[in-house]
Amino acid sequence: MSLSHCGFVLATDLDGTFLGGPRRARRRLYSWIEENRARTGLIYVTGRPIEFVSDLVRTGHPCPDVAICDVGTSVYRISRDGAAMADADLEAPIAARWNGAADRVRRALDGHPGLREQALPFRHRLSFDMDPAEVRPHSAEAVQALGLDLLISQNRDFDVLPKGVSKGPTLLRVLDRLQVASARVLTAGDTLNDLSMLASGLPGVAVGNAEPALLAALTAHPQIYCATRKGAAGILEAMAQRNLGPDA
């Protein structure tokens, strides 16, 4: 599969971004994408599991060409009936870096205050709900000692990831596989788990409801447009700024 024929590829977070903002803006964005699928690519880049994405497709949302799920630790192809298949080639280096670390992470964080493991079937990550008032610095140190990465976003999600794996690096590998030049891409996000994607050197937009910590981290990245409008409306605003799609 290649998206080399596409003049524009939207690589977008879901919650708060593609799925956020006014209903009218969401409808305009989704309709424009569907009307222009012959020359427009769509990649979902989300912390959600593939089951969430499949349900979106089944309920009428645009079907992505690729779904990057679980904060960049899994990659799927998905059909218009919502059926999904993991891309074994793209996931192989992710799985190698994770190396079945879930039980080691559980042991290392056992008894640490402010962390509650999320009951979801992650394959190459482990995630916890975090109470910021209780969590302690030694939890981060325990993750680092395992040679893994820690990603905290929205001051509530404590994600343990394979070293060097997150939304940005995985998206770059997908774009290389699909033969998409970086200038034809617009990334979009709203929280710190989107930082690696928005700071990857690709053009992008932080939508108007982006968390302040993300905006602060993006000040050194002039290729990122900071929208004033929220969610899908912010994506439309950035597209209009690049003379793409309908007006915001």
Residues 6+ apart with CB under 8 A from 195: 168, 189, 214, 217, 218
Please report the pLDDT score of residue 244 as a whole number: 86
Please report the pLDDT score of residue 193 as a whole number: 93
Give, in degrees to the nearest 5, the angle at Cα 130 between 97 and 195: 55
Distance of CA 213 to the CA centre of its chain: 17
Please report the pLDDT score of residue 154 as a whole number: 83
Please report the pLDDT score of residue 246 as a whole number: 74
Mean pLDDT by 10 residues, the chain (248 residues): 90 98 97 95 96 96 97 96 95 97 97 94 93 95 97 91 97 96 96 96 98 95 96 97 77
Is residue 28 within 8 Å of 239, Cβ to Cβ?
Answer: no
Give, in degrees to the nearest 5, the angle at Cα 26 between 245 and 11: 60
Q: How far apart are CA 123 and CA 11, in angstroms?
A: 22
Please report the pLDDT score of residue 121 as a whole number: 82
Measure CA of the first residue to CA of the last residue in the chain; give whole Å. 31
Please report the pLDDT score of residue 124 as a whole number: 96
Is residue 126 within 8 Å of 106, Cβ to Cβ?
Answer: yes
Burial of 93 (0-12, 13-18, 19+ CB in 10 A): middle
- Lookup result for tokens 């770059």: 172
Please report the pLDDT score of residue 120 as a whole number: 84
Please report the pLDDT score of residue 2 as a whole number: 82
Is residue 229 within 8 Å of 207, Cβ to Cβ?
Answer: yes
Please report the pLDDT score of residue 83 as a whole number: 95
